Amino acid sequence: MLADIHNKLSTTGSNLSDRLEDLLTGNFFGTIRYLPFEAALGHILKKARFEQDDEHVQWSNLIEKERGFDAVFEFWPKHHEGEIDLRLRLGGTFAGIEVKYLSGLSSEDDGDAVDLQIDYKESRNQLARYARMLAEISEGKTAYLIFLAPFVTMKNVQEAIRSRSIIEPGVHLGFLSWEDVLETLNELSPGDLDLGRKQIVQDMQELLRRKGFERFTGFTQNLLAQEVSDEHYQFSPESLNSTVSWSWNTQTLKEEEHYVFNA
Amino acid sequence: MSSTLKTKGENITNAVQVLQETYKSLDLLFAELDRVGKEEGFVSLTPRFLRWKSDAYPEGWLTTNFIKLYQKETDSPLPQLDEVREGTLYGIEVELQPEIGYPIISLNEYSYDFTYWNRLPSISDHWLYHNPFYLENEFNINEENGKWTSAPLDKYKKRYWGLLSATGQDFPLAEISSPEDIRIKLFRKI
């Protein structure tokens, strides 16, 4: 709904992976804000990992102070450095969340993960820009930037960005994977929620499962039990009707006889 | 069953469906390998798995062998290539169609003279890590109870980026069914 409200779903069919990202952002964060902060989003955000332990302690303290519906959600806020997917105001502190879903939908014919490389570079640039944006609007106060992506993308961006000083000082960069988000939702105790809120959590779990963010739990019994015999498709020329004959039409070409455009 | 194939080819559709579902599970498995590997102090050398693919041979249309490479995070970087570490290279290899039996996952270890290394392995460098257990005319290969040892013949050492020796151990793939299995049956076996 949020992606539609913010005019993120163009009907031109261009840039599918961006639109899917915006759709996921809108669907997930647009829904989780209907729950009190401490009931769901707080648990999830606490799973973000930071390079330094003290950054994580400060982040956890900030999250724990937040209650009810006080957090302000700004989706795709306009700024000259670009539109981050979500900007949260927690008390007087800003926390930006940059969301990734699919990276590279092309067929990768050369097979050497060029798409991934480009995506990391692009992500690095985006994170640097959004960190500048957060530093600017925070006016010297500490701010947080969270990169939320499928685990493999998250890990690779995290490694690519480590030891590169492209993030504004004063902005703490945290990493969170969608797989961790789903796992945290699964760990919420449903007893604490009323029926309506339980349904909200169930829908979000279903959405993230559908997006493929479950962790590996082995090969399903269905898969192992599906029977396939060794019978296969056979193309046998002998079975073709031998009376069929190929007909190659021939046409005699005459020299000098060609098309002439005669105006 | 044969009558079904003759009329509709149901068996083929089933086979492809089973494979696609298997690929989806493998995708989750590979992500989990990176995650558990990281927790256990290993770094992944390439974001994607290595594999052989070819349009020229029907066998190459379908990927049946996948290799992920890891090193210990604590080993020191090479002077000429800081993404690679001076230490054992670990390969986790999935083979869906072994010569005998059913799908296996192998834990491989490769030791190198790293002076031959000047770039990171790419996805299509799969052969560098697969052939040591496969090409008998280029390697001395021995196998006993699912444990493999291999060393390249002298003249092939350079081609395989200074490979000195390799070992491998096979486990049934279907027995790996949780992050804990990955931790205990694979990474903690190193």
**Percent of chain B that is helix, strand, coil (3-state, to 5):** 35, 25, 35
Q: What CA–CA distance (Å, rounded) separates A70 from A37?
A: 8
Does residue B47 belong to the interface with chain A, where contact is any CB pair within 8 Å? Answer: yes
Residues B21, A220: C-beta atoms closer than 8 Å: yes
The pTM score is 0.75
Q: State which residue of chain A sits closest to B179, comparing Cα positions.
A: A216
Chain B CB contacts of A217 under 8 Å are 28, 177-178
Tens-digit pLDDT profile for residues B27-61 = 999 999 999 999 999 999 988 899 999 998 888 99
DSSP lists the bridge partners of residue B171 as B105
Indicate the residue of A116, A156, A219 with minimum beta-carbon distance to B22. A219
Rounded distance, CA A63 to CA A19, Å?
29
Residue B153 has pLDDT above 70, yes or no: yes
Residues of B within 8 A of A116 (CB-CB) are 47-48
Q: Looking at the partner chain, which of A155, A223, A233 has a beta carbon nearest the beta carbon of B22?
A: A223
Alpha-carbon distance B95 to B170, whole Å?
A: 10
* Substitution target from B11, B63, B178, B187 for chain A, most A beta carbons within 10 A: B11
Lowest mean pLDDT segment, chosen from A108-117, B77-86, B94-103: A108-117
With contact defined as beta carbons under 8 Å apart, do B89 and B150 qualify?
Answer: no
pLDDT tens sequence across B105-133: 999 999 999 999 999 999 999 999 999 99
A114-147 pLDDT tens trace: 445 555 666 678 898 999 999 999 998 999 999 9
Yes or no: say if B80 and B69 are a contact pair by the CB < 8 Å rule. Answer: no
Q: Can you tell me the distance from the alpha carbon of B100 to that of A103, in angstroms, rounded to the nearest whole number?
A: 37
All residues of chain A having their beta carbon less than 8 Å from the beta carbon of residue B177 are: 217-219
Q: Which residues pair with A147 in a beta bridge?
A: A98, A175
Residue of A nearest to B27 (CA): A216
Q: By C-alpha distance, which of B50, B110, B165, B92 is closest to A112?
A: B50
**In the predicted model, what is the mean pLDDT of chain B?**
92
Q: Amino acid letter at A158?
A: Q
Reported ipTM: 0.72
For residues B117 and B84, the answer to whether their CB atoms sit within 8 Å is yes
The C-alpha atoms of residue A45 and residue A181 are separated, in whole angstroms, by 8
pLDDT score of A20 more than 60: yes
Say how far apart CA B120 and CA B161 lie, in whole Å: 11
Q: Give the confidence band of B141 by pLDDT, cuts at 50, 70, 90.
A: very high
**pLDDT at position A201 over 70:** yes
CA A124 – CA A173 distance, rounded (Å): 12
Q: How far apart are CA B116 and CA B118, in angstroms?
A: 7
Answer whether B97 touches A (CB < 8 Å). Answer: no
Tokens of A151: 């685990």
Question: What string of DSSP letters covers A62-117?
Answer: HHHH--TT-SEEEES---TT---SEEEEETTEEEEEEE------S--TT-S-HHHH
Report the chain B residue with the minimal C-alpha distance to residue A222.
B18
Q: Do B35 and A229 touch (CB under 8 A)?
A: no
Residue with tokens 């302690």: A57
**Higher-confidence residue: A256 or A201?**
A201
- Whether residue B38 contacts residue B86, with contact meaning beta carbons closer than 8 Å, is answered with no
* Mean pLDDT along residues A221-243: 71
Looking at residue A176, its pLDDT comes to 97
Does residue A106 surpass a pLDDT of 50?
no
Q: Is residue B29 within 8 angstroms of chain A, CB to CB?
A: yes
Residue B68 has pLDDT above 50, yes or no: yes
Q: Give the closest-approach CA distance of B163 to chain A in angstroms.
A: 23
